[in-house]
Structure 1
Amino acid sequence: MNTKAFWILSILIMLTGPFSTEAQEQKETAKGKLEDYRKTFWDNIPKPKGWVNDYERDFNEQQIASLEYVILKFDKESSIQIAIVTIDTMMTSKKKFNDLALRIANSWKPGEKGKDNGILIAFSRKHRLIRICNGYGIEKLISDKETKEVIDRHIIPNFKKDDYYAGTFTGLTELIKLLKTKQ
């Protein structure tokens, strides 16, 4: 390496060094703030604002109303309560998604007290994850295998087309049909 190239390389390293360190510090600060936000959310699960809580903003108002109508109608017919929550990536990491879904289900406790007959459908479009949490009373009616079939056959095909409302609506109605055959 000639002297001129050495000096140019040295100057570039000196100029980019502080910026790289500063950028790394900013990245670590942002990561720390995200983890603080996630911990705060974990420790303070908000109360549900209805049967559909769309933190990820996957649905419009009409779609939320449609899902709520189906859920309320089925609740009146069966006393089985179903809640839907979309989980934004700010709320949890992909690794902790299932734990958060279960925590929300245990916090909100859909279903009648004493019957534990509630279901929580939780998904994150950005994490590409879904979980259906069945209360113990529901587990007596439908198996995990049947729940997984609803996800695989009715929800995921629509999600793959980026149609989260159709996937959720179809999955919800299929769960209801399945539950009606078991009561």
Structure 2
Amino acid sequence: MDSLVRNFEKSNLIPIKIVTIKDPSITAENFDQANKALLDEWSAVHGKSDKCMTISISKNLRRIRIDYGPFVTKLLSDTESSEIIESQFKPSFKEAQYYTGTFNGVTTLMNKIRKNIKF
């Protein structure tokens, strides 16, 4: 998974951070806010970049969240992101196939972004 996102960053300049949430202080109520904070941190690591993307997954909370900066918003709508969560991540997660669901979801996200990049 690591090499997949690194290669995507090298070719498309969009760094993706994928985290699994096990911290008991992260609850269903603050899960979305925690991922947005993670996006802010990840963006700062990349020089306040608006090209970053974060994906948080919590098996215990049964939640997944994808957030991204303004540049990525031009390439991936919230509707497309939600559809990918529903069609790629969740079906495998329901079968306890977390790696497969994450791989399929991240690959589909990357392909959608590549398709939407206009040169």
Q: TM-score, normalised by structure 1?
A: 0.60
Residue number in structure 1 paired with 2:33: 99
State the distance in 2 between where 1:129 and 1:177 align: 23
- The match for 2:80 among 146, 167, 172 is 146
* Corresponding residue SS for 1:142: coil
RMSD, aligned α-carbons: 1.6
Assess if the C-alpha contact under 8 Å between 1:87 and 1:123 holds in 2: yes
Tell me the CA shift for residue 123 of structure 1. Answer: 1.2
AA in 2 matched with 1:125 = K
Assess if the C-alpha contact under 8 Å between 1:82 and 1:119 holds in 2: yes
* Corresponding residue SS for 1:109: helix
Tell me the CA shift for residue 174 of structure 1. Answer: 0.3
Max Rg structure:
1
* Corresponding residue SS for 1:176: helix
Structure 1 unaligned spans of 5+: 1-66
State the distance in 2 between where 1:118 and 1:107 align: 10
Assess if the C-alpha contact under 8 Å between 2:22 and 2:58 holds in 1: yes
Residue number in structure 1 paired with 2:16: 82
Call closer, same or farther: CA 1:147–1:83 in 2, change over 3 Å.
Answer: same
- The match for 2:61 among 127, 130, 137 is 127
Assess if the C-alpha contact under 8 Å between 1:79 and 1:112 holds in 2: no
Name segments (4+ residues, structure 1) moved above 3 Å.
Answer: 110-115
State the distance in 2 between where 1:133 and 1:99 align: 10
State the distance in 2 between where 1:72 and 1:143 align: 22
Tell me the CA shift for residue 102 of structure 1. Answer: 0.8
State the distance in 1 between where 2:48 and 2:34 align: 23
Pairs aligned (count)? 117
**Bigger RCO (CA 8 Å, 6+ sep):** 2
Residue number in structure 2 paired with 1:156: 90
Q: In the TM superposition, what whole-angstrom CA distance separates every residue of 1:46-82 from its partner, at most 9, and x where no partner exists? A: xxxxxxxxxxxxxxxxxxxxx1010011111111111
Q: TM-score, normalised by structure 2?
A: 0.91
